[in-house]
Amino acid sequence: YKKLSLGVSTENLWWGPGIRNSLLMSNNAPGFAHITFNTTAPIKTCIGSFEWQIISGQLKESGILPPDTGRTFYGVPLYQPKQQDGKRYLNGMVATWQPKWTKNLYLGFTRMFYLYSSDVEHSLDGYLPILGAFFKGSTNNEDDKRRDQMLSLFVRLVLPKEKAEFYAEFGRNDHSQNSRDLVLEPEHARAYIFGGRKIFTTPKNTDIELMAEFTQTENSPTAWIREQEGWYTHYQVRHGYTNRGQVIGAGIGPGSNSQTVGIAWIKGIKKTGINLERVVRNNDFYYDAFTPSRNFGSHWVDLSINATKNWYCKRFLYTADLSLVRSLNYQWRHDFDAAGDPVNRNVNNLHASVSVSYLF
């Protein structure tokens, strides 16, 4: 109705400008049931165009236990069971503004709360916490509500004549205490994404696309002297920011960093591309676990090369994808040689997929 929509859906959502990752909402996890109130087209005003989406939904647990739940350390069990009912309530929003003075600039904001369904208060603040205060000092009992907040700001600049775009997203995993706290340590509990891509046209009408994207969800140095939860984790919401065991935000997961570069040859809807990527898995865990032993050579790092190709034939679009991943120190573990000395565990993985789409 007049560019507004109200509905119920389980479709995957993607918020923010990132191509490989999104801090708050991506298609990494299975879709979850949610109610959505959103615009279906930009709404023009005297200061520019606006788009938004507000959702409320329910997240579910995977029902699968982690490996080695019986492991102990000096007789103390390492696995701490989570509560049996892992259903969580989620409330979030995204809004984008395109200023009328700069038609190719997009400014955006996202905010998300999640908590166990059993902890939801039957009030406006309980069901729509995204409308609440941005600073923890503005509320007297935020910690008692047993919920986690994430928010981000993003910008996207499109250059049509140059066939290029550049973007960035900066997020915080929790409230600042007040404006002073925000100014003193804006990097506390932060994560970020930045990247860009550009297309070059050849004399044979084939486009060459170059892209690069960098993502960091690893904790900032403020964690050395100040308590800090990792991204997508929370001490009161033990199931975290997940649906059926998969992170809803950046696919690299908490405490991780990634660097991706790629090149693609495009002609119409046909595309052939190659990506190179490096992912450091959960450095937050790594430094907690290995700092006492001074083991500086056991980072879990994935190095991957991905090749993709699609082609069109008689209204069918075929896509083939092949990825080779070399995992160094896989899961931070070591093997042992014949003498009983530890050696690094390096693992190779090969992923291949083929899909077919019919174009009506």
The pLDDT value given to residue 68: 79
- For the chain, give the number of residues: 360
Burial class (CB in 10 A: 0-12, 13-18, 19+), 213: buried
CATH number, domain of 30, equals 2.40.160.130
Is position 124 within any domain?
yes
Is position 47 within any domain?
yes
Whether pLDDT at 263 is above 90: yes
Quick: pLDDT tens for 207-246.
Answer: 999 999 999 999 988 888 888 888 999 989 999 999 999 9
The residue segments making up the domain with residue 42 are 4-255
Is position 285 within any domain?
no
Quick: pLDDT tens for 19-54.
Answer: 999 999 999 999 999 999 999 999 999 999 999 999
Nearest to 159 by CA among 97, 103, 203: 103
Q: How far is CA 92 from the centre of its chain?
A: 14
Number of domain units in the chain = 1
State the Cα–Cα distance between residues 76 and 290, nearest whole angstrom: 18
3-state percent helix, strand, coil for the chain, nearest multiple of 5: 10, 50, 40
Is position 82 within any domain?
yes
Is position 216 within any domain?
yes
Between 8 and 77, name the one with better pLDDT. Answer: 8
Q: How confident is the model at residue 71 (pLDDT cuts 50, 70, 90)?
A: confident
DSSP state for residue 253 in the 8-state scheme:
-
Q: Name which of 73-77, 129-133, 187-191 the model is least confident about.
A: 73-77
Whether pLDDT at 138 is above 70: no
The pLDDT value given to residue 194: 98
Q: By three-state DSSP, how is residue 89 classified?
A: strand
State the Cα–Cα distance between residues 255 and 247, nearest whole angstrom: 12
Is position 320 within any domain?
no
Is position 305 within any domain?
no
Whether pLDDT at 127 is above 80: yes
